[in-house]
Structure 1
């Protein structure tokens, strides 16, 4: 068996770093516009104009508006799944892990509400491959919560079946994911309010 160690990855060049930063800028602009006007109401040229890129030049970053939407929603689904796994892996009591999961989900909502709005409204505009990937990530994210919620209920002397845990979790997501449509409210107070409401939905 070879004991050779793989060489470290090559550092990105300045041009590659600039292209990656521009790609992030495009994705953020696209999410904002699609959240405001809907997928069908936005053109690739509109997104380019928002970041100072001509229509033809946009195709150097994304082949189509469909690819752009796929990237946005797969990215946010991976972010939620990976963040949920990391939050659960930090350990602690089930109550502590559950609160950490809630706070993580709310952090995503509060920092990037446009992503959640696009996910809720434009999921069915995804390509088949991207929709399958997003659905798979969403199911796995829910299952992270399910195991924690069942353990938390057990600590409280409650026997909770997995099917009911999933219902509670999906209902709680519906509550939290509606936050981008709520009236204006101080952000620091909103976090606390959403956290207590989420915990109440899961424990009620």
Structure 2
């Protein structure tokens, strides 16, 4: 009796999804959302266009996954910082530092987010906005502890101004080394918040 050959087990490259997301961020940042096709993303990621559909059902789903990953990381970092910091002043410095690192190190992804979020389906856009608000509230809570005389609306306005100032680095090339740019932007954010940088963070 002849043996029946076993069907080969198909395995997925665990790094493929990350390559697709990175390629999408790069292409959309350079060309814009509407000018990039799934086949373009696949070619840049080293996979066929059809292979992308094993991970993502559409081009907007690629962007949603990219943005979810970024916002989830920021939320997770913020929660950990607030929980583990020795005191609120250190927590605020670490929150600022994390946002500055994000704006400088992940400039490309943040540029895509700001420019393309309105191209996402309404439900996804609302969900991502909710996550953004949760992230901002971590800052508002810490700032409120440090400056109890502020109204919640005032604290929220200052947090928006500080984060907006940090993210302004997306719109120009300073010509400064990243570490010096980070130092300057961190100082400016703390000045906006009205709380000095702590060296114990």
Q: TM-score range by the shorter chain?
A: 0.7 to 0.9
Please state if 1:192 is matched with 2:183. yes
Q: Alignment partner for residue 168 of structure 2, among 175, 178, 185? A: 178
Structure 2 distance, partners of 1:57, 1:78, is 26
Structure 2 gap segments, 5+ residues each: 1-8, 196-201
Q: 1:14 offset after TM fit, Å? A: 9.9
Please state if 1:164 is matched with 2:162. no
Q: 1:132 offset after TM fit, Å? A: 2.0
Structure 1 distance, partners of 2:111, 2:119, is 13
CA deviations over 1:17-60 (Å, ceiling 9, x no partner):
x2x31101110111111122221121111111112222222222
Q: TM-score, normalised by structure 1?
A: 0.85
Structure 2 distance, partners of 1:133, 1:99, is 28
Please state if 1:88 is matched with 2:78. no
Structure 1 gap segments, 5+ residues each: 1-12
The 5-angstrom pairing of residues 116-131 of structure 1 reads 116-131=110-125
Q: 1:69 offset after TM fit, Å? A: 1.1
2:108 aligns with 114
1:202 aligns with 193
RMSD: 1.8
Aligned length: 186
The 5-angstrom pairing of residues 36-185 of structure 1 reads 36-154=30-148, 159-183=149-173, 184-185=175-176
Q: TM-score, normalised by structure 2?
A: 0.86
